[in-house]
Amino acid sequence: MAYLACIGSRKVNGVAELHSELVQTTILKDFVDFEGISKFGNVTNGITPRRWLDQCNSELSALISQTLKLDKAVWLKDLTKLEGLLSFTEDKAFRAEWAAIKHRNKERLAHHVQVTLGLTVNTNAMFDVQIKRLHEYKRQTLNILGVIHRYLTLKNMTPAQRKKVNNRVVFFAGKAAPAYYIAKLTIRLIVNVARIINADPDTKDYLTLYFLPDYSVSLAEVLIPASDISQHISTAGTEASGTSNMKFCLNGGLLLGTVDGANIEIAEEVGENNVFFFGHLTPAVEDLRHQHLYHPVPIEEKCPALAHVLNQVSAGLFGDGQVYEPLLNTIRQGDYYLITDDFDSCKTVTFKSPHIAALAMVDEAYSDKEEWIKKSIRTTAKMGKFSSDRAINEYAESYWNIEKTPVQKD
């Protein structure tokens, strides 16, 4: 299908710098050689700030307009004007109002959960969110296994030790394709893990988990403004761009992710000290997959922490363990999406840090609330590049060869 599309197209775009490079050097390399490099380019995706900030987070939009002394119609059309917020990161009153808006957005999400699921959410905890269609490459599996690891770690702590832990509320949402059995098993595991840990008197004050059903744009508009940290953790080289990462960051949520898709360009804009990267890099992926197939190492030897998590699931800690064997075997046998490599492994030249270590870095950073708020403000301020207006202008100039036509107001 991609080959036919390439033949029938005048121009080809990879929608983020990394993926555009991969398209030209690997996926469609023969077409580049045959048709020339000029047919291939890059326009990174964008999002509309009118929906993904002004509509879904009207209080933050109003604060931005008030602080910048600009009508929202001005900065929504030129999102680079958000950089004016950088000079207010040291303003204590501004930071307090920024944090208060975030908390009210958390309360709005908690109200939604109460109304739809009848469950009470701790709005004083950190909100950790992953909302995407369910797919193995997006690695909701890695995330839920990390949640289980955190739960088991908490269970082994003394009450005094637990009181020192950063309280975390984890949200999942998303839909699986009707015939995608492994994706549906992942949802089943998330729901059953939530059922156990949310009822555990030892840990429920420190860790809770929710899978929100019937994911939609409207639900995303409630989830995204409430996020403290969002996870974009695809196997390196598999995510073309992603746009939910842009939506979260535009609303002041920090990013935890792999060096993949638009995560890379977001980090270039906001600064790597304001994001949390982990995992193997794209050049290492194919070699690792080859090792998994032809020189496999038992998980118990390679990643004991993950082996313990998988064994607990198999043993029935979260319901009938046999049900999950097809899902767990995708990790034990072949592990195409590198769960065993990125979960909790040793640091190498082609590796940032493991997922578990990245989560610990998030906890440490969140403990300094004032610095966290500054990171949040800086993140929003540097998201100007990711407006869909910029993307459309680049398409118009480089792909469509059309010029702007001003529309006169009546």
The predicted pLDDT at position 304 comes to 95
Phi and psi (nearest 5°) for 389? Answer: -60, -45
Give the pLDDT confidence of 73-87 residue by residue, as tens digits.
Answer: 999 999 999 999 999
- Residue 390, judged by CB atoms within 10 A of its CB (0-12, 13-18, 19+), counts as middle
Please enumerate in sequence order all residues whose Cβ is within 8 A of that of 298, keeping only pairs 6 or more positions apart, or say none. Answer: 307
pLDDT score for 232: 98
User: Is residue 236's pLDDT more than 90?
Assistant: yes
Confidence of residue 410 (pLDDT cuts 50, 70, 90): confident
pLDDT in tens, 358-402: 999 999 999 999 999 999 999 999 999 999 999 999 999 999 999
Q: What are phi and psi of 150, to 5 degrees?
A: -65, -40
Q: Which amino acid belongs to residue 206?
A: Y
Asked which of 41-45, 87-91, 348-352 is least confident by mean pLDDT, the reply is 348-352
C-alpha 295/C-alpha 123 separation (Å) is 47
Q: What is the CA radius of gyration of the chain?
A: 22
Give the pLDDT confidence of 152-191 residue by residue, as tens digits.
999 999 999 999 999 999 999 999 999 999 999 999 999 9
Q: What confidence tier does 409 reach under pLDDT thresholds 50, 70, 90?
A: confident
Q: Give the pLDDT of residue 348.
A: 46
Q: What is the pLDDT of residue 349?
A: 41
pLDDT in tens, 9-58: 999 999 999 999 999 999 999 999 999 999 999 999 999 999 999 999 99
Mean pLDDT value across the chain? 96
User: For 295, how many CA atoms within 13 A lie in the half-sphere containing its CB?
Assistant: 4
**Is the CB of residue 264 less than 8 Å from the CB of residue 218?**
no
Burial label, 146 (beta-carbon count in 10 A; 0-12, 13-18, 19+): buried
Percent of the chain with pLDDT over 70: 98
Q: Among 142-151, 184-193, 285-294, 340-349, whose mean pLDDT is lowest?
A: 340-349
Token pair in block for residue 244: 């939910």
What pLDDT is stored for residue 345 in this prediction? 58
Question: Residue 350 pLDDT more than 80?
Answer: no
User: What DSSP line would sit under 280-335, residue for residue?
Assistant: B-HHHHHHHHHHHHHS---HHHH-HHHHHHHHHHHTTBTB-GGGGHHHHHHHHTT-
